[in-house]
Amino acid sequence: MKKILAIILSVSYLSACSFLAGGKQNVTVMTNVPTAEIYANGEVVGHGTSAKFRTKRNENLEIMAKADGYRPAYKSIDTKLSAVGILDLAGFFVFLLPIFGLLAPGSKTLTDTNISVELVPANAPLAAAETETEQE
């Protein structure tokens, strides 16, 4: 009986897997302008047509790209429950303790990690710039 209880307790404590998933994830942002500056949550993360960086997986991400002669372009990336977070949630119904895994950063993930941001020339008609944004 003690052995079974020990196994159940071990499994329940280890099943909060979100604590093991890590708090950061890789993100790639691509632009159409070689001279663009790329920002994530207000900080420069790269220049040119591509930037790769790591960011917190449990926080929304605000992307901005800007370049001389172009209108700034923005993208907002939300978070969602990760696969590991879903497993913790499912484990909660069996063992109760995995619910604490939902407090860990690993329980969330960004909804998109390959982000494309298209800058529109500043002299382009405003209607054309709005159409580009609506199509995304």
pLDDT of residue 125: 84
- Residue with the larger pLDDT of the pair 103 and 39: 39
59-72 per-position pLDDT tens digit: 999 999 999 999 99
Distance from C-alpha of 87 to C-alpha of 101, rounded to nearest angstrom = 9
CA distance 39 to 76: 12
Q: What is the pLDDT of residue 19?
A: 61
The rounded mean pLDDT for the chain is: 77
Backbone torsions φ then ψ of 31, nearest 5 degrees: -125, 170
The per-residue b/e assignment along 53-64, b for 16 or more CB within 10 angstroms, e otherwise, is eebebbeebebb
pLDDT tens digits for range 79-109: 877 766 666 665 555 555 555 555 565 666 7
pLDDT > 90? residue 5: no
The pLDDT of residue 96: 53
**Residue 83 DSSP SS3:** helix
Structure pTM?
A: 0.70
What domains can be seen in the chain, in order of their start residue?
Answer: 2-121 (2.60.40)
